[in-house]
Amino acid sequence: MKNWIWAVLIVFLAVLLLASASFYTVNQSQNALLMQFGKQISVQKAPGLYLKWPVLQNVEYVDKRLQNYSPQPESFLTQDKKPLLLSYFAEWQVVNPGVYYARLHDQANAQTQIGDVLRAALRSQIATMSMEALIAARQQEISSPVMQAADQHLSTFGIRLVDLRILQVGLPPELLQATYKRMEAEQTQQANTYHSQGKADAEQIRASAEKEKTSILADAYRQQEQIKGQGDAEAASIYGDAYGKDPKFFAFYRSLEAYRHALSDKTVLVLNPDSPFFKYFRHSLNEAGK
């Protein structure tokens, strides 16, 4: 009796296990591939509960959500053979899970394939543009042709390229350092040119100022001599008029001028008392003696 109960229990459990292995679920973020002996039998894209043969069939799930691909910045050569560092970001999605699973099998292989395709498309596009044009280009001018070429290639793997964004365009570190040094040398050369030009301009300004100074001094000296000559002529005329009107007063005035220029507090003169120089002194002394 006990053996019969155990037999029924084992059969029940076996049926239960087979029944549970006969169903599988698909959620909204997945596509389900029904496989039999390694071959695809069907693809279920709608969410729900589905039936399969236990043991003989198995299910592989493929994520149908948007995936992203964001590698490290990579170096590319422009049309003028200049290396350029490019940083980019891509979004992709599985649209044909059967082809995707058959050719790539999993997401790791998909990322590798997407990277190879995008790298080749970017290299081809950048090779047609100069560095100046590439730096000045708008986002769509670079990404649109790359997306078109890459999406066409990735469609053979059941993948659709949804978006591609160029994040940054720059120079490799070694080239950037060389560019900084070249810019520094150019700025130094330009500063030296400005310094030399300024020095030359300063010399020219100084020479012009010196020339103008000499001209002004010469003109001033000429005017001085002219005024002095006019003054001397006017003084001579005045002296002549004064001498003509009163020769004695003129002689007296000239003697006073001579006394004023010749005599001072420390002046010592040794002259004969009868010298004409003391003419008016003797006259003054005689008047004082009276």
pLDDT at 288: 42
Residues 76 and 44 in one domain: no
State the pTM of this model: 0.56
Residues 79 and 163 in one domain: yes
Task: Output the pLDDT for position 86.
Answer: 86
Instruction: Output the pLDDT for position 285.
Output: 44
Q: What is the CATH number of the domain that holds 109?
A: 3.30.479.30
9, part of any domain: yes
Number of structural domains in the chain:
3
- Where among 63, 88, 107 does a domain terminate? 63
Query: Which among 138, 171, 204 is the end of a domain?
Result: 171
Residue 116 lies in a domain: yes
Any domain includes 149: yes
Amino acid 113: pLDDT: 94
Per-residue HEC secondary structure of the chain comes to: CHHHHHHHHHHHHHHHHHHHHCEEEECCCEEEEEEECCEEEEEECCCEEEECCCCCEEEEEEECCCEEECCCCEEEECCCCCEEEEEEEEEEEECCHHHHHHHCCCHHHHHHHHHHHHHHHHHHHHCCCCHHHHHHCCHHHHHHHHHHHHHHHHHHHCEEEEEEEEEEEECCHHHHHHHHHHHHHHHHHHHHHHHHHHHHHHHHHHHHHHHHHHHHHHHHHHHHHHHHHHHHHHHHHHHHHHHHHCHHHHHHHHHHHHHHHHCCCCCCCCCCCCCHHHHHHHHHHHHHHC
**What pLDDT, on a 0 to 100 scale, did the predictor assign at position 120?**
93
pLDDT given at position 289: 42
Query: Is 154 contained in some domain?
Result: yes
| Residue 53 located in a structural domain | yes
**The predicted structure's pLDDT at residue 135:** 78
pLDDT digits (tens, 9 = 90+) for 241-274: 766 666 666 666 666 666 666 666 666 666 566 6
**Within a domain: 125:** yes
Answer with the one of 132, 154, 171 that is the final residue of a domain: 171
Domain housing 36: 2-63
State which residues of the chain have pLDDT below 70.
Answer: 1-21, 172-180, 239-240, 242-290
Q: What's the pLDDT at 290? A: 44
